[in-house]
Amino acid sequence: MPRPTVNTNSEPLEARWLIDNIKALAEVHGFKYDRHNVDTYIIKEIVDRYNKEVERHVQAHPDSGPNTFKQAGYLTFWIRKLKPLRCSTLKYRYANEVLAYYAGLSLIDTRYPGDVEVARRVEGEEDKKKAVARFQEELCYSMRYRPMSPHALGLLFYAIWQLQAGHHQSN
């Protein structure tokens, strides 16, 4: 079973990476990306807080910095907490939570390419598609209305990776 990666030697997250993810999400979901809908100051704050979380973890555990899933949890937490997208329509009520979810998956996918491409892995299987959609809806609701720590989100991403990529151990 592959071990989760550690970020002790990688570069800090850049705002450009997160903006590119927002643009990709906007294209897929028909959300208009412009300066009126995306607060770039909040994007920079999210990136700053994420990088501080990673640095704090590295200082506390120099030999075992945060694994990919903890990093995804930190990123997801700060996106959903600071809410960089300004959405005034009910259609996009969970836009920030959806962004947070997909940014976390995207971060994992940079380290484990193809393992968490949820839509591709369930294509053609209607029951699985419905289950994934229901899970995503419930997760976005919980991120918006329930307290969720970065640690809980990190564990959640690890579980998603385990289940989607088939990295579970057989005993």
Cα-flanking dihedrals φ and ψ of residue 6, to 5°? -115, 140
Q: How far apart are CA 17 and CA 79, in angstroms?
A: 13
Of residues 8, 33, 13, the one with CA closest to residue 22: 33
Residue 81 has a pLDDT of 93
Q: Is residue 170 over pLDDT 60?
A: no
Better-scored residue on pLDDT, 22 or 121: 22
Residue 46 has a pLDDT of 95
Of residues 20, 36, 77, the one with CA closest to residue 53: 77
One-letter amino acid for residue 81 of the chain: K
Q: What is the mean pLDDT of residues 153-164?
A: 83
Q: Is residue 165 over pLDDT 60?
A: yes
Q: Is residue 54 over pLDDT 80?
A: yes
